[in-house]
Amino acid sequence: MGLTTMPGILESITERLDVLEHDLAQLRIVPTDPNEIWAEGAIRVVEAVAFSGLSRSELYELMTSGKLPWSKPARHRLVPRRWLVQWLAKNAFPRAIDSLNTGRKKPAPKKGKK
């Protein structure tokens, strides 16, 4: 490869990176603007558990890992409703399939004569 083809390759790479950056921006779960995150209000963790089907420990894990924005203006932690709905829309189907696969009970052994 000669030096004359290098600008063409760099231009092609730059174009591909621009496309990837655009696609990633479309996939974002959590809005970056704080006003947008809290635009539809917030719910307490207990309500988020009931609404989402996630366990309390799963929600707290999302909070401590920084994947879930939250606020504690008074006594209770609050979760932005919009974030939770978006997260569920993206993750609920795979989680439902996983729970179906892992939640199946094994049939009880048949009692028979020995």
pLDDT at position 13 is: 85
- pLDDT tens string 45-96: 999 998 888 899 999 998 898 888 888 888 899 998 888 888 888 776 555 5
User: Average pLDDT of 40-45?
Assistant: 88
Look at residue 44 in the predicted model and tell me its pLDDT: 93
Higher pLDDT, 24 or 96: 24
Question: Residue 36: is its pLDDT beyond 80?
Answer: no
Residue 113: pLDDT band with limits 50, 70, 90 = low
Contact yes or no for 68/62 (Cβ under 8 A)? yes
Does the predicted TM-score (pTM) go above 0.75?
no
